[in-house]
Structure 1
Amino acid sequence: MKWLFNLGYLLAGALISPWYFFMALTTRKYRAGLSQRLGDIPFREREGQSIWLHAVSVGELLASRPLIKALRERFPQYELVVTYTTRTAAEIARRELPGVYHCYSPLDLSWVVARFFKRLRPALIILMELELWPNWLMHAESAGVPVLLANGRISDRSFRSYRRFAPLLARAFGAISHWAMQDETYAARAAELCSHAPRWRNRLWLQDGDGRWWISAQDLSFEARRHWQEHLDEYLVAAENQSSVPLPRTFDPERRSELKPHRPLEFVQGRPRVYGVEMTPAPVSISGNLKYDSLKGEVDLARVAQFRALFSIQPGQRLLVCGSTHPGEHEAIVDMLPRLGVRCLLVPRHPERYASVRELLTRAGLPWVNRSELSPQKPALRDAVILLDTVGELALVYALADVVFVGGSLIRHGGQNMAEPVALGKATLFGPHTDNFKATVRELLDVRGALRVQDAAELEREITRLLADSAAREALGSAGQARLLASRGALARYMALIEGLLPAKAEVGP
């Protein structure tokens, strides 16, 4: 199977190599960390086993900070290794993780992955949110290394793709020892994906004399599988006595014609006779969102005061922070700024968009300045739009805000993380496209702790209203902050899972 993925990667690489080499020559981010991704990673000072935590980019890395701290304190016998994929995550790791071994993650080529495993000697691999690289996972399975998917999240788009290629990815699904998901929706998706792996395929046998019929995990909803697992003892007794049991309400009896082989089942008063049960509980749990545990709810007041002076924010002057914005949103924000009459701090999601945003501001006749150009000796002009072109300062910037708009949500992107400004008690708005954060949005809207707008016109109206009404800002921010801070506690559940997956004793040498 590995050769098949290697061949696919190499063919894809050959097709895109002219474009990639051009981009690598002209754009820094395409050549950042390439030698490490090919296996040229630093030697470790310690020779024993490691706990290998992989966080794709900045969001995952920041969310994993409480976990990283807890792992170093609880398991000092293992060296903690952190890998990432993006240049911005590398910058955060260098600044935020002193004393932690970190490097870029491997390209998913079997020989590169093998070199990483030889160098890092993992006793456990922790994947943050979802990074499903087949060769990486299959190598872990072959080496007997458990894999924990932590803070699991499967977006609509990823779920469709994984389900489409499920037969090809079945072994990779099976290599994940436990899928610890953020909420019920993601847990249901994880259960469906891992049910394709023979390792986790659950079957309820229905036998009638000369033949067997079964309901396999793929035929059932997450709720139905959970029903059978919770009532396993009841089904075992029924099988022993050859008696009937009720179907879970989530299983449609009309689907019995789809069971294999295609023969009628024996039903007694609407209940199937059960003659045997084979249950391997799917390794899926709802463990919560680590991002909530990383929320502090308070800020460094001294640094906030420094930033207020740096940005020349005057007493009584209102500040709108537009965080993690995308093309399509930049234009709308720049268009409404003159009418809003408010200071604005604009934070494009991707650094390569800075130039186009500067051009938009210039064409609109709005003064602007890059955050990187400011210093105590050279603060911003009092009416300038601040373009945040630095990494790792977004939380401090949110702390300055009176109103926050979180981007990636007016366009069909799926949204960006709105938990950080809400946890700081800020009046926070986002657009209709927040599929990547369904659970958080649901919690916030239930308590009126944030505002969802449908388009740019409504966004402008709501910002105008909130800027003029301090009581409305306070009510919105307080409700959301209270709800999110009450949701903390996932860290303890993840640490319990990790303790159960780690070997009892770490190997010391190679």
Structure 2
Amino acid sequence: MLILYNFGIGIYYLLIFIFHFFNTKAKLWIEGRRNLFQRIAQEVDPRAEKVWFHFASLGEFEQGRPVLEKVREQYPNYKTLITFFSPSGYELRKNYQGADYIFYLPLDTRFNAEKFIQLTKPQLAIFTKYEFWYHYFKELQREGIPLYLISGIFRESQPFFKWYGGLNRKMLKRVSHFFVQDGRSKQLLEDININNVTVSGDTRFDRVAENAASAKQFEKVETFCGVNPVLVAGSTWPEDEKLIAGLAKEYPQWKFVVAPHEIKEEKIQAFISLLEPGIAVRYSEFDQIEKAFQHRVLIIDNIGMLSSLYQYGKVAYIGGGFGVGIHNTLEAAAFAIPVIFGPNYDRFLEAKALISAEAGFSISNREELQDIMRKLQNEEFRTKTAAAAGRLVQEGKGATGIILNHLEKQLANPSN
């Protein structure tokens, strides 16, 4: 199986290399790793004690960020090292001030893993949610460096729990401790004789609660919204935007703030073409107060605002549910507003929790969206669902503290 794994890694690199000639993301992936070991050797002090945090992408970074920032705050003698696998994480957070070193993760080969650990020499490693790399895990274990997985979540369909998942189970055996989101994940691990598991919950609850408490203010957005009820649509894809366009026509008394998942020119133009002429304005072009009365759809054509935009909403719509899966629903729920999303949410415990709490609503088509929006016109119903969303987030907090309490001995005495 290891031969197949290594072959798969090689094929993955070959495909990325081919695509990088005409795909921006693939180009960033390749170029970001060019001369990477040379840069690490120049920048990283191998003598300094450090904690290595690895994130697949931006979502995992935000999920693990509360733990990262608490480690930095409580243990300032440690340097913090961050790696990303995806350009969508690295490119947006490469200048993040809360870490000492930020790099792409070299591809998972035996040579790369040995070289990376040799150059960085971390005292412990913390991976978030579901990043599993055979050679890195093996090298960490060989060097006696503790490895922790935080906010982990496991499902029966994963290879770890299949007859053919021997190599995958070997990876899990090399983790020092698992902090998982729910009891089902703990049970699945125990069923394959992995017992070093703590149900801590999801650190995203801590992150979104912190974000809601210190949300950035956007004067232009506030001006645009005025006294109108507002639907904030986050991380939307074309299928979502078709539905939003229908709502904008159906509810002329509402304003719509839409943050597309992709802000390429052709994507924004495609969305505008779905709307009635003249009702949309881009955030970058909205610079006159009188325009607040002329337009009903504000398109956010930049990156970085979404997590604070939900404060202006009476209702949130989260995109991605008609594709690979919904985006961050908790970010919106933290502002105590009801959340609507598409049908593909089965892998997301928080979405299921929102539905159970009657604070979230899954829709499969335009008719179902129209139905829930009609219900949300009722102030009493909307207030009830909003309160349930806020309560869910507040009750879900605490995972960061559980993890830090467990890591205290290791961080205070790194030789243990």
Distance in 2, Cα, partners of 1:430 & 1:388: 19
Shift of 1:330: 2.4
The change in CA–CA distance for 1:55 and 1:95 in structure 2 (over 3 A counts) is same
> Alpha-carbon deviations, 1:395-417, whole Å to 9, x = none?
221111111111222x2533222
Aligned to 1:486: 395
The change in CA–CA distance for 1:455 and 1:394 in structure 2 (over 3 A counts) is same
Q: Indicate if the aligned counterparts of 1:39 and 1:112 stay in contact, CA closer than 8 A.
A: no
> Alpha-carbon deviations, 1:326-380, whole Å to 9, x = none?
342222322332122232222233455x623421322544443333455579977
SS in structure 2 at match of 1:296: helix
The change in CA–CA distance for 1:155 and 1:360 in structure 2 (over 3 A counts) is farther
Q: Aligned pair 1:64/2:64, yes or no?
A: yes
Distance in 1, Cα, partners of 2:54 & 2:181: 17
Aligned CA-pair RMSD = 3.2
Distance in 2, Cα, partners of 1:460 & 1:360: 19
Aligned to 1:329: 240
Q: Aligned pair 1:176/2:89, yes or no?
A: no
SS in structure 2 at match of 1:73: helix
If you compute each CA radius of gyration, which structure gives the higher value, 1 or 2? 1
Q: Aligned pair 1:393/2:392, yes or no?
A: no
Q: Which moved more, 1:105-114 or 1:35-44?
A: 35-44
Q: Indicate if the aligned counterparts of 2:310 and 2:316 stay in contact, CA closer than 8 A.
A: yes
Q: Aligned pair 1:187/2:149, yes or no?
A: no
Aligned to 2:142: 142
> Alpha-carbon deviations, 1:63-86, whole Å to 9, x = none?
222212210122222211111223
Unaligned runs of 5+ in 2: none
Shift of 1:52: 0.3
Distance in 1, Cα, partners of 2:174 & 2:38: 22
Distance in 1, Cα, partners of 2:106 & 2:288: 41
Q: Indicate if the aligned counterparts of 2:338 and 2:360 stay in contact, CA closer than 8 A.
A: yes
Distance in 2, Cα, partners of 1:434 & 1:169: 25
Distance in 2, Cα, partners of 1:107 & 1:70: 28
SS in structure 1 at match of 2:217: helix
Aligned to 2:336: 425
Q: Indicate which of 210, 218, 225 corresponds to 1:296.
A: 210
Aligned to 1:33: 32
Amino acid at match of 2:217: R
The change in CA–CA distance for 1:362 and 1:18 in structure 2 (over 3 A counts) is same
Q: Indicate if the aligned counterparts of 2:53 and 2:83 stay in contact, CA closer than 8 A.
A: yes
The change in CA–CA distance for 1:346 and 1:298 in structure 2 (over 3 A counts) is closer
Unaligned runs of 5+ in 1: 196-200, 202-280
The change in CA–CA distance for 1:8 and 1:27 in structure 2 (over 3 A counts) is closer
Distance in 1, Cα, partners of 2:398 & 2:352: 19
The change in CA–CA distance for 1:297 and 1:499 in structure 2 (over 3 A counts) is closer
Q: Aligned pair 1:383/2:292, yes or no?
A: no
Q: TM-score, normalised by structure 1?
A: 0.72
Shift of 1:450: 2.5
The change in CA–CA distance for 1:387 and 1:329 in structure 2 (over 3 A counts) is same
Distance in 1, Cα, partners of 2:101 & 2:211: 29
Aligned length: 412
Q: Indicate if the aligned counterparts of 1:405 and 1:428 stay in contact, CA closer than 8 A.
A: yes
Q: Indicate if the aligned counterparts of 1:39 and 1:106 stay in contact, CA closer than 8 A.
A: no
Aligned to 1:271: none
Distance in 1, Cα, partners of 2:13 & 2:51: 31
Q: Indicate which of 370, 378, 381 corresponds to 1:460.
A: 370
Q: Indicate if the aligned counterparts of 1:180 and 1:285 stay in contact, CA closer than 8 A.
A: yes
Shift of 1:457: 1.3
Amino acid at match of 2:63: A
SS in structure 1 at match of 2:43: coil
The change in CA–CA distance for 1:297 and 1:464 in structure 2 (over 3 A counts) is farther
Aligned to 1:447: 357
Distance in 1, Cα, partners of 2:120 & 2:342: 42
Q: Indicate if the aligned counterparts of 1:448 and 1:479 stay in contact, CA closer than 8 A.
A: yes
The change in CA–CA distance for 1:363 and 1:185 in structure 2 (over 3 A counts) is same
- Equivalences for residues 332-347 of structure 1 within 5 A: 332-341=243-252, 342-347=254-259
The change in CA–CA distance for 1:34 and 1:387 in structure 2 (over 3 A counts) is farther
Q: Which moved more, 1:489-498 or 1:440-449?
A: 440-449
Aligned to 2:195: 282
Distance in 2, Cα, partners of 1:83 & 1:98: 13
SS in structure 1 at match of 2:19: helix
